Protein backbone atom coordinates (compact mmCIF):
# COMPACT_ATOMS: atom_id res chain seq x y z
CA UNK A 1 0.00 0.00 0.00
CA UNK A 2 1.66 3.20 -1.05
CA UNK A 3 -0.98 5.77 -0.23
CA UNK A 4 0.07 8.88 1.67
CA UNK A 5 -1.45 9.69 5.04
CA UNK A 6 -3.64 7.68 7.37
CA UNK A 7 -7.33 7.00 7.02
CA UNK A 8 -10.01 4.46 6.18
CA UNK A 9 -11.97 4.12 2.97
CA UNK A 10 -15.28 2.33 2.44
CA UNK A 11 -15.80 0.55 -0.88
CA UNK A 12 -18.65 -1.83 -1.75
CA UNK A 13 -18.66 -4.40 1.07
CA UNK A 14 -15.11 -3.68 2.29
CA UNK A 15 -13.36 -1.11 4.46
CA UNK A 16 -9.69 -0.30 3.94
CA UNK A 17 -7.65 0.96 6.89
CA UNK A 18 -4.24 2.30 5.87
CA UNK A 19 -1.18 4.08 7.19
CA UNK A 20 1.37 5.65 4.86
CA UNK A 21 4.00 8.38 4.86
CA UNK A 22 3.04 11.99 5.59
CA UNK A 23 5.76 13.48 3.40
CA UNK A 24 3.77 13.34 0.15
CA UNK A 25 5.88 10.49 -1.22
CA UNK A 26 4.22 7.24 -2.17
CA UNK A 27 6.71 4.94 -0.47
CA UNK A 28 6.05 2.25 2.12
CA UNK A 29 2.68 1.85 3.81
CA UNK A 30 0.65 -0.82 5.57
CA UNK A 31 -3.05 -1.63 5.44
CA UNK A 32 -5.93 -3.94 6.35
CA UNK A 33 -8.97 -4.81 4.26
CA UNK A 34 -11.98 -5.78 6.38
CA UNK A 35 -15.28 -7.19 5.09
CA UNK A 36 -18.34 -5.27 6.23
CA UNK A 37 -19.69 -8.39 7.90
CA UNK A 38 -16.71 -8.18 10.31
CA UNK A 39 -16.42 -4.39 10.68
CA UNK A 40 -18.39 -4.41 13.96
CA UNK A 41 -15.66 -6.61 15.44
CA UNK A 42 -12.98 -3.96 14.84
CA UNK A 43 -12.36 -2.29 18.17
CA UNK A 44 -9.47 0.01 17.21
CA UNK A 45 -7.14 0.84 14.33
CA UNK A 46 -3.93 2.52 15.40
CA UNK A 47 -1.44 3.74 12.79
CA UNK A 48 2.10 4.10 14.13
CA UNK A 49 4.03 5.18 11.05
CA UNK A 50 4.40 4.24 7.39
CA UNK A 51 5.85 0.85 8.36
CA UNK A 52 3.74 -0.20 11.35
CA UNK A 53 0.12 -0.19 12.44
CA UNK A 54 -2.12 -2.44 14.50
CA UNK A 55 -5.76 -3.42 14.53
CA UNK A 56 -7.64 -4.70 17.57
CA UNK A 57 -10.47 -7.16 16.95
CA UNK A 58 -13.02 -8.16 19.56
CA UNK A 59 -12.68 -11.86 20.35
CA UNK A 60 -14.97 -14.23 22.20
CA UNK A 61 -12.68 -14.58 25.20
CA UNK A 62 -9.66 -12.39 24.43
CA UNK A 63 -9.22 -9.49 22.03
CA UNK A 64 -6.93 -10.11 19.07
CA UNK A 65 -4.30 -7.59 17.98
CA UNK A 66 -2.91 -7.81 14.45
CA UNK A 67 0.38 -5.94 14.15
CA UNK A 68 1.09 -5.19 10.49
CA UNK A 69 4.73 -4.60 9.50
CA UNK A 70 6.67 -3.49 6.46
CA UNK A 71 10.26 -3.98 7.58
CA UNK A 72 13.22 -2.19 5.99
CA UNK A 73 15.39 -4.28 3.68
CA UNK A 74 18.93 -5.43 4.44
CA UNK A 75 20.44 -2.68 2.27
CA UNK A 76 19.03 0.10 4.48
CA UNK A 77 21.05 1.91 7.14
CA UNK A 78 21.42 -0.05 10.42
CA UNK A 79 19.96 2.84 12.46
CA UNK A 80 16.73 2.72 10.46
CA UNK A 81 16.45 -1.04 10.95
CA UNK A 82 17.17 -0.74 14.67
CA UNK A 83 14.54 2.00 15.05
CA UNK A 84 11.97 -0.14 13.23
CA UNK A 85 12.54 -3.21 15.42
CA UNK A 86 12.63 -1.10 18.60
CA UNK A 87 9.26 0.41 17.67
CA UNK A 88 7.86 -3.03 16.88
CA UNK A 89 9.07 -4.34 20.23
CA UNK A 90 7.61 -1.33 22.08
CA UNK A 91 4.21 -1.84 20.41
CA UNK A 92 4.28 -5.58 21.16
CA UNK A 93 5.16 -4.99 24.82
CA UNK A 94 2.52 -2.24 25.29
CA UNK A 95 -0.32 -4.58 24.32
CA UNK A 96 -1.78 -6.31 27.39
CA UNK A 97 -0.48 -9.85 27.92
CA UNK A 98 -3.98 -11.37 27.89
CA UNK A 99 -4.57 -10.21 24.28
CA UNK A 100 -3.76 -12.55 21.42
CA UNK A 101 -0.94 -10.88 19.45
CA UNK A 102 -0.23 -11.72 15.82
CA UNK A 103 2.63 -10.09 13.91
CA UNK A 104 2.14 -10.15 10.15
CA UNK A 105 3.32 -8.38 7.04
CA UNK A 106 6.47 -8.12 4.98
CA UNK A 107 9.43 -8.72 7.28
CA UNK A 108 11.91 -8.63 4.37
CA UNK A 109 13.66 -11.70 5.71
CA UNK A 110 16.19 -13.68 3.77
CA UNK A 111 16.76 -17.37 4.49
CA UNK A 112 19.91 -19.09 3.33
CA UNK A 113 22.41 -17.47 1.01
The tens digit of pLDDT for each residue in 34-65 reads 788 888 888 988 888 878 889 999 999 999 99
In a domain, 50, yes or no: yes
In a domain, 27, yes or no: yes
Sign of the C-alpha dihedral, residues 94, 104, 66, 63?
negative
Distance CA 74, CA 34 (A): 31
Q: Write out the residue range of the structural domain in which residue 43 sits.
A: 6-106
Q: What is the pLDDT of residue 26?
A: 56
In a domain, 32, yes or no: yes
- What total number of domains does the chain contain? 1
In a domain, 111, yes or no: no
CATH of the domain at 76: 3.60.10.10
In a domain, 112, yes or no: no
In a domain, 12, yes or no: yes
In a domain, 66, yes or no: yes
The structure's pTM equals: 0.78
Phi/psi for 69 (5° steps) reads: -125, 145
Amino acid sequence: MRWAGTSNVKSDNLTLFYSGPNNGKHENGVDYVIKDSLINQVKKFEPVNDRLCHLTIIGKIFDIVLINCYAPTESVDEDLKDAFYETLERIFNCIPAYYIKIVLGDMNTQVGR
